[in-house]
Amino acid sequence: MTIRATVWGENVHEQTNEVVARIYPEGMHNCIAQALNEDPGIEAISVTLQDPEHGLTEEVLDNTDVLLWWGHAAHGQVADEIVDRVQKRVLEGMGLLVLHSGHYAKIFKRLMGTTCSLKWREAGERERLWVVNPGHPIVQGVGDYIELPHTEMYGEPFAVPNPDEVIFISAFEGGEVFRSGLVYRRGNGKIFYFRPGHETYPIYYDEKVRRVLKNAVKWAQPEGSRWVDSCPNVPADQAPNPVEIKGEGLHKPGEEGFK
C-alpha cells in the first residue's frame, strides 16, 4: 500500500533570499518531496503557504497519510482555521513530521502545549547527530551518526514536553547539545520532530537526512482505521446496562456534544 505524503513548505526564503533560491531552485518543499518519491512505497506532493487555504484543503488532508511541515519566517501568516484542520487530522491518525524551524509553527506549539523555544546561533558550524535509539525504525540504514559540515546551531533547553522517545542528540562545534529527533503521540497520530534543515545550507540533499525522512514517513503512517473525535450523547435506553433517569438534566435527550 502506497503511503500518501504531503510536504508543506512556507516558500518564503526561496523567493526572497538569493542563497536559498540558488540552493533550492525548485523550493525546499519540492526537494523534500523528490526525496520521498525516490521510495516506491511513498507518493509525495508539495503545497505551500501561498496556495489557496495554504494548500491544506479538506480534500488534500483527507488524502494525506503523513504531513511534513517546514516553516520559519511566516508562522503568524498561517490561518488558525487551517491549524484547527491539521490538528483534527493528527488526532484522527495522520502522521506529522515537523522540520527544523517548524518547532515554532502554530500547529507544533498547539500539539505540544508549550512555547517550544530554544537557543540558536547561525555560524555555519559542524553538527553531528548521534543516533541514541538505534533500534528505532526511523534510523534504520543511517549508521551511528549523521554529520553535517555546516548548519545552524540549536541548543538546550528545548521547551517541549518530555518525548515518548529521543532518537537523535546533536553535538555542535561550539559545544552545545540538542535533542534533535523526538517522537510523540497525540490522539491517534504520530509526531516526529527532526531538527536539521536550515535553509542556507544544502541539508535536504544529504543522503542520510533523506533516509531519515523516508523512514519517518513510514513510521508515522496511520495505524488502523481513522479515529473520529466526537462527543456523542448516549440515551439512557441505549446504555449497556439499564439506566433510570433521575431528576432534571441540563441537556435534552439526543443532544449532540457541546463546547
Digit-coded pLDDT (tens) for 217-227: 999 999 887 87
* Orientation angle between helical segments 28-37 and 207-220, nearest 10 degrees: 70
Per the CB < 8 A criterion, the answer to whether 191 and 111 are in contact is: yes
Per-residue pLDDT at 233 = 82
Q: Is 67 contained in some domain?
A: yes
The tens digit of pLDDT for each residue in 221-252 reads 998 878 777 788 888 888 899 888 887 766 66
Q: What is the CATH number of the domain that holds 92?
A: 3.40.50.880
- 252 in a domain, yes or no? no
Per-residue pLDDT reduced to its tens digit, 111-136 = 999 999 999 999 999 999 999 999 99
Query: Per the domain annotation, does 216 fall within a domain?
Result: yes
| Average pLDDT of the chain, as a whole number | 94
Q: Give residue 142's pLDDT.
A: 98
Q: What is the largest CA-CA distance in the chain?
A: 72
Asked if residue 151 is part of any domain, the answer here is: no
Least confident of 45-54, 89-98, 196-205, 233-242: 233-242
pLDDT at 253: 57
Q: Is residue 164 part of a domain?
A: no
Q: If pLDDT is split at 50, 70 and 90, which confidence band does 1 have?
A: confident
State the pLDDT at residue 234.
83
- Extended strands (E) in the chain: 3-9, 42-48, 66-70, 95-99, 119-131, 145-155, 165-172, 177-186, 189-194
Pairing state of beta strands 95-99 and 189-194?
A: parallel
In a domain, 206, yes or no: yes
- Write down the residue that cell numbers 484543503 correspond to: 57
* CA 232 – CA 226 distance, rounded (Å): 17
Say which DSSP state 78 is in. S
**Any domain includes 25:** yes
Number of domains in the chain: 1
Q: What is the pTM of this model?
A: 0.93
The reported pLDDT for the residue numbered 252 is: 63
Distance of alpha carbon 33 from alpha carbon 55, whole angstroms: 15
Q: Residue 259: what pLDDT?
A: 42
pLDDT-above-90 percentage for the chain: 86
Q: What is the pLDDT of residues 132-188, one digit of tens each?
A: 999 999 999 999 999 999 999 999 999 999 999 999 999 999 999 999 999 999 999
**Nearest 5°: phi and psi at 128?**
-120, 115
pLDDT, residue 226, reads: 82
Range of the domain at 28: 3-113+180-220
- 254 pLDDT exceeds 80? no
253 inside domain: no
